[in-house]
Structure 1
Amino acid sequence: MNTTAPVDIYNSFFGFHERPFTLVPDPDFLFWSKSHRLAYTMLEYGVLTRAPITVVTGEIGAGKTTLLQHLLKTLPDDVIVGLISNAQGDRGELLQWVLHALGVNFDHSASYVSLFQTLQDYLLEAYAGGHRVILIIDEAQNLNVNTLEELRMLTNINSNKDELVQLVLVGQPELRNLIMRPELKQFVQRVGSSFHLSAMNRENVAAYVAHRLRVAGGSGHEFSDAALDRVHELTGGVPRLVNQLCDLSLVYAFSAEEHVVSEDTIESVLADGVFFGAVSLNGGQANEA
């Protein structure tokens, strides 16, 4: 069976050239809410000023990874980037993650001191070649006190007055709480730029939805105001949840041959139990299990 046909019909019905709401981070759909613009500005500021450590936090699905991908597209050619996603482990294991991310060959049985020397030699060689190295750690809330302290030690590698590696840590709000622990006082002192990416308000949700619809080839008016009220209420303004609910709502509208998603469309999605991210009726946080 051709599983792509329903998506083609869905797009043709609304006049889209691609799905406006997917769960895969896509910089082409990046929406610059005030919070996202500030978060990106702080990311860029940290990179341009060569801050030893930059930290960006936000709820699951708030758009952190999309911002990262946009940043990667804009970095100059002289920047070497090592990207680590969801790193875990303890002392020594993180150093192996770092070497892997930078594409450095090393002996897996080597001691910690040898591995550190291998990294230092690589950073010095990159610096001598006119390059600077940025190490980006995504899902950094999975690190612990020991590994964060290990990362801080990397920022002590320098040549004269120039630091040889910059760290960018991106993670969920727990990362912020972790960093503020008394044991990490020295780590905090190395943070030159930080920002917490908050969820969108009702106005931003409406602008976000319209933006993605237009980027996909639509008019931007495929959702009624009442429907957008419900989208904001049910998702708490978290972009990933907005994408889930809006995508399902477009499927339901297409099935009913309606070119505008109404509040009734949203209620039908809820009634059928196909949207698992709805905010609970008691005002709790969205369930993203």
Structure 2
Amino acid sequence: MMRWSKLGFCATWLAVLTFVMPVAAGAQEVNLYTTREPGLIQPLLDSFTKATGVKVSSIFVRDGLAERVAAEGAKSPADVLMTVDFGNLLDLTDKGLTQPIQSVALEKAVPSNLRGGKGEWFALSLRARVVYASKTLALKSVAYEDLADPRWKGKICIRSGQHPYNTALIAAYIAHHGEAAAETWLRAVKDNLARPATGGDREVARDIMGAICDIGVGNSYYVGLMRGGGGGPQQVKWGQAIDVVLPTFRQGGTHVNLSGASVAKYAPHRAEAVRLLEYLASDEAQKLYAEANFEYPVKAGAPIHPIIAALGP
């Protein structure tokens, strides 16, 4: 198993784009507000409905999930709130938008350090922030701190530092080294950039293949999405053009972040909401997370996709 950094969780909150209106209150249905891309979670929701008969109506909320639920108040139709990044889950809880639940199934499936102390939130999958590297480097190991090394001047690609994936990494760096050291590190990394910090993680792999940069930072599951063909034949080439190194902080630990969910405070279908969370932590769903999304499961013993397992322990 990967050596998870206990301090490597944090992020900013996300915002609003509606695709489907929620179903009305009633039995055997559950309303999901999610910041996760619909294509990533729909196979899981379909599997849940097939297994339980409970219909899931989902709303994709790109930004401002907490703000939206707060504005809806007690009349909110939301039953389950699903998001990425530990900070977002804490934000929902701190703003009083979730409710604690007790579930033996969830407590058995989700380790105590990956859920709220009172059951206010539960992690459902994990992803590591890894280094993509040109195969010409034959890079075998690297620390996050090394990204500030002058040897990489003009050779690093990365997405925006304001993106939640990177704000979480920055928060982890602060936890390890303090704010002053983190600021120095960030300035040095910026000086090492081969191009402006833009695009997504997959574009980092693309630009390494194009010799624009030698190394970059990206999430582990994008490696699976590229190499597995989910993004088309061109992205397969991007994924195959890079080596992937699991970095650590010099004090130890690879930075990971998570996706997770909570039961909304005013959930009109509370029982079904709990049932959905229990299913998402089940053996079947944890296997689907690995197969469809190339994420690490939270449940001990659940399989890891071979593409991700090959990245290392």
Whether these two folds match at TM > 0.5 is no
Q: Which has the higher contact order (CA 8 A, sep 6+)?
A: 2
**Greater percentage in strand:** 2
Radius of gyration: which is bigger?
1
